[in-house]
Chain A
């Protein structure tokens, strides 16, 4: 095992980062609104309760077990093996139950808060993809698995001085794999997890009829979705600036550019999606525009602290063009029923942001480091999450009973609906 020493923060940076971390949960609130709005009205209460429950479950599990394996707090060092004469730190060995948090250095304390929020965010992303058929118990159990095993491994490799972070020192690949805002640890992991959930739970009943095209099942509340996008902007700006301080040791003068890059990336992404959907459908699509906005924010979470404003505009532009096309491709060509579009919005945009960060970064070898990180996300975490969820599905079935899907998740799982004054109509999508 080797010990890792975190950098020292000045009082001003400590206060600023702490304040930013108190704003960062707005990103979770925004995603919760989006997840709820993109589902059906008869599952709205279950969807929103699920978002809160997942945040709670991940916080408990990460405090008990995950934070130790991620190596959030100093004291335990890390598990390491040697290959080709280089140390490969693969698992943290911090204290369990956050032992010694109060006495830890300021950087370690703030990094721990950041990782608590990150694991909750990563677990929220697939919840929207499993809307209208993923049971609440199964969703919480899956979130617990993510917080206990998968996220800590990834967080240690990238943020905790693990082998991906050390690619620069050990193999002269730039500054090692860089992910200051959580594009990999939060968004790509969330997107890949969403894919595993969709594969295991299957599509909503009636989504892909035996003959003809897939059935359109639009979200029930565009206002929730679009307001969620605005709430996310605040959260992502706080998240990216806090990440730049914690993981890149960015000085104060570099922080306004990071915040501005976040806004620019989201703005060009929205403009691009607006134009693409206007051209494709004759009118801009509100739901897809929301997806484009979030995709721009996601792409910025990898790159905002590393690139110029001009590059941020370009990164957002590509994310905004690709997102509506990918959402359509996944639904129509590949038969993936992803109500929140998480695979495209979080998975694909996150991968693009990570690659763009390497491409535009000035350090030599940075692009290859980012490629190795992307290869790790696809080659290790997708199979790992699928395997764990496949096993979990044997114990806690993911999919709700057919009757639950027919009457809605609210009545089936909670006994009451989000909108009790609504008249329930027959669902024409059932054939």
Chain B
């Protein structure tokens, strides 16, 4: 799950890049860049969740 989350992070980055390349309207750009960061936040949450699960299995 941690790796899945880490793979989602670049997807958010490419969404942000696509926004500045494809749109010229500042509002559209801003909305899509924010969406890219939201995707990254989701990926980060999944990665953190995966880290917690891994810790729960080992109990240091």
Contacts and interface: CB of A to CB of B under 8 A. Distances in A.
Interface of A: 83-84, 167, 171, 173, 199, 202-210, 334-336, 364-365, 367-368, 371-372, 374-376, 378-380, 382-383, 386
A84 B11 CA distance: 19
A205 B59 CA distance: 9
Interface residues of B, number: 30
Interface string B4-38: 00110111111111001100001001100110110
Contact of A202 (B9, B15, B48, B60): B60
B56 to A, nearest CB: 8
B44 to A, nearest CB: 7
B9 A368 contact: no
A424 to B, nearest CB: 22
Given A372-B16, A375-B36, A379-B14, A84 B26 contact: no
Given A83-B21, A199-B51, A378-B40, A207 B60 contact: yes
B44 A368 contact: no
Nearest to B29: A368
Given A210-B59, A376-B13, A382-B6, A334 B52 contact: yes
Contact of A335 (B14, B15, B21, B55): B55
Contacts of A203: 55, 60
A386 B6 contact: yes
A379 B12 contact: yes
A166 to B, nearest CB: 11
A334 B34 CA distance: 25
Contacts of B20: 167, 171, 173, 368, 372
Contacts of B29: 368
B20 to A, nearest CB: 5
With most chain A CB atoms within 10 A of its CB, the pick from B12, B20, B59 is: B20
A375 B6 contact: no
B53 to A, nearest CB: 10
With most chain A CB atoms within 10 A of its CB, the pick from B13, B34, B52 is: B13
Contact of B7 (A207, A334, A383): A383
A336 B51 contact: yes
A12 B60 CA distance: 57
A376 to B, nearest CB: 6
A375 B40 contact: yes
Given A207-B60, A371-B33, A383 B10 contact: yes
